[in-house]
Each structure stands twice: as structure tokens, then as C-alpha cells.
Amino acid sequence: MNYIGIGVGGIIGSLLRYGAGLLVAGPFSTLAVNLSGSLILGWFTARVVERKALPEVLTVSIGTGILGSFTTFSTFSLDSLRLLEEWRLMASASYMMISGVGGLTAAYLGYHAGKKKMRQEEEGKY
């Protein structure tokens, strides 16, 4: 059943990724998708996965399926290569740095925001 959930989630995530590409062109689309996906996955992990708040099939459908296909390391790599081939060295270096550090920061912020909300709920502070 998990495989079906991941597949359905993958379809949804891919369509969302395609839609994001229509809204913002070029590497900035990939950057926005990867940073927002990192933030959401961090939050989702803290709020849902670690608490086992959803059945496993839904957890993998959302985490692996939707968010896994929404964010795209392969597109990030290709965008970086294209910038390098165009000798846009500063743009390429900036893009790679922002993607790496920004993705890690977004995941951290999302994860800790989810943990904070969970602690507030446990203390009765909504």
C-alpha cells in the first residue's frame, strides 16, 4: 500500500513542481521549490513523522511522494551546470551556496517550528 501512496504523492508533487516552474522561470524556480520543500519537510517531520500522527501510508505519501517529487536535486544540478557553462561564475556560485545553505536553514527552521508548536500543544498553549 505504501508504494501506491508514494506513487500518487509523486504524481501530485510532480504536478506542483511543474506549476511552480510555470510561475517562476529558470533556476530561481528550482531554488524557490527546493527551499520551500525543505522548510515544509522539516516541519512535516517534526509535527507528523516523529509523532506518528498519521498512518505510515500517508506519511510516506506526503514526505517521499509529494515532497520528494516536488523538490528536485537533479534540476538544481543541471541549473548549476548551465550557469557554469555560460561562464556566469558568480551567479552559479551564489545559486549553489544559497541552495545548499538555504535548504539546510529552511529544513532547520521548519523542523524547529514544528517542534515548538508541538511543545505548545502539549502545554495547552495553542
Q: Where are the alpha helices (DSSP H) in 1-126?
A: 2-23, 27-44, 56-60, 68-70, 73-85, 89-122
Residue 54 phi/psi, 5-degree rounding, is -130, 155
Q: Is 68 annotated as a binding residue?
A: yes
How crowded is residue 94: how many other Cβ atoms within 10 Å of its Cβ? 13
Angle at 73 between CA 14 and CA 11, to 5 degrees: 15
Q: Is 71 annotated as a binding residue?
A: yes
Binding-site members are 68, 71
Binding-site members for Na(+) are 68, 71
